[in-house]
Amino acid sequence: MLNIILIAFCILTVGSALWVLWTKNVLHAAFALLLTFLGVAALYVMAGADFLGITQILVYVGGILVLLIFGIMLTNQAGNKEGGKNMILTENLNRFWGILIAGGFFGLLFYTFTQAGFQEVEQQHFGEISNHSSTIQITGIQLMTDYVLPFEIVGVLLMIALVGASFLASKNE
Amino acid sequence: MQQIPDVIRQIPLNYYVFFSAALFCIGVTGVLTRRNAIIIFMSVELMLNAVNLLLAAFSSYKADPAGQIFVFFIMAVAAAEVAVGLAIIVMIYRNIQTIDTGILNKLKW
């Protein structure tokens, strides 16, 4: 049962990622990316990382996607008004070589992973998995004890990046 | 300190591995073939998501929550990267009125 749900979410995510890849309309790509992020959030939850699932929705869907849509709005002011529609279209480039390289890379990864034998890894570590229902408590404790310095540094980095971004994008000289 | 939910026990790790490989390769294809700079950005986000998901899955299989905290930090740095990158794209648009990478060839020789 759980495997079927997992495969359904995988198909949803890969399908919407392919839609990002193929669609000509930039805004449709952004909305397909929304579906991809939601699917990845569900897969985080199924991997036992529920805190990361929530963070994925908050950061990616709530922050990064909104930023991307703002970027689309700011960079296509002329638009493409042919045929009474107001669509933002784009073309592809080097389709043959791009798909060839990425397909070859996928083949290489697939071959490596089938040779790697992850079943043995699973068997070795399954004994240690406890019967807990959530990782939020342990994640919070570790963030505030072992990883408190990186946590603070990441906060400062994020603030510097946001100040720099708003300075870069501001209009005044 | 090994407290990972029981649900992972029922899912083979191979599903996550192959799914992440597929998502990463879709992102690579997007970066190589799309012409709109913002869609290239979206493809980079796809690749980041694939790698993050695989790291989280492996940390769960190893019953070690530290991997999830690393994924959290990666997400924070990715958010900063997107903010700065989009500001740069907006500046490029303001200077040359396009973000088509087929036209952005001033540095090509």
Q: How many domains does chain A have?
A: 2
Contacts of A37 in chain B (CB under 8 A): 49
In a domain, A6, yes or no: yes
Convert the pLDDT of each residue in B67-109 to its tens digit.
889 999 999 999 999 999 999 999 988 888 888 888 888 777 6
pLDDT the model gives residue A79: 61
Write out the CATH class of domain B4-101.
mainly alpha
Q: How far apart are CA B78 and CA A40, in angstroms?
A: 16
Domain ranges of chain B: 4-101
The CATH number for A34's domain is 1.20.120.1200
Q: Write down the pTM of the prediction.
A: 0.89
Q: Is the pLDDT of residue B7 over 70?
A: no
Closest alpha carbon to A68 in A92, A93, A109, A33: A33
| Residue numbers of the domain that contains A7 | 1-91
Same domain flag for A61 and A139:
no
pLDDT the model gives residue B3: 54
Same domain flag for A148 and A86:
no
Convert the pLDDT of each residue in B24-36 to its tens digit.
999 999 999 988 8
Same domain flag for A5 and A82:
yes
pLDDT the model gives residue B1: 44
In a domain, A86, yes or no: yes
| ipTM score | 0.89
Structure-token match 């919070």, residue found? A140
- Tokens matching residue A157: 């980095």
Q: Is A83 left (phi over 0), alpha (psi -120 to 50) or beta?
A: left
Q: What is the DSSP letter of B97?
A: S
In a domain, A60, yes or no: yes
**Which member of A59, A97, A134 has the closest CB to residue B79?**
A59
List all residues 6 or more positions away from A118 whose beta carbon is below 8 Å from its beta carbon: B12, B13, B14, B17
Contacts of B21 in chain A (CB under 8 A): 106, 109-110, 113
Q: Per residue of chain A (173 residues), what is the pLDDT tens digit?
A: 888 999 999 999 999 999 999 888 888 999 999 999 999 999 998 888 888 999 999 999 998 999 999 998 888 766 666 666 667 777 777 888 888 999 999 999 999 988 887 766 666 665 555 556 677 888 888 889 999 999 999 999 999 999 999 998 887 66
Same domain flag for A87 and A137:
no
Same domain flag for A61 and A141:
no
User: Residue B4 and residue A95: Cβ atoms within 8 Å?
Assistant: no
Nearest residue on chain B to A88, alpha-carbon basis: B36
Angle formed at CA A96 by CA A95 and CA A97, multiple of 5 degrees: 100
Residue where a domain stops, chosen among A67, A91, A115: A91
**Residue A64: Cβ-neighbour burial (10 angstroms; 0-12, 13-18, 19+):** buried
In a domain, A108, yes or no: no
Transcribe A36-98 into DSSP letters. HHHHHHHHHHHTT-HHHHHHHIIIIIIIIHHHHHHHHHHH-SS-B-GGG--B-B--B-SHHHH
Beta pairing partners, B34: A92
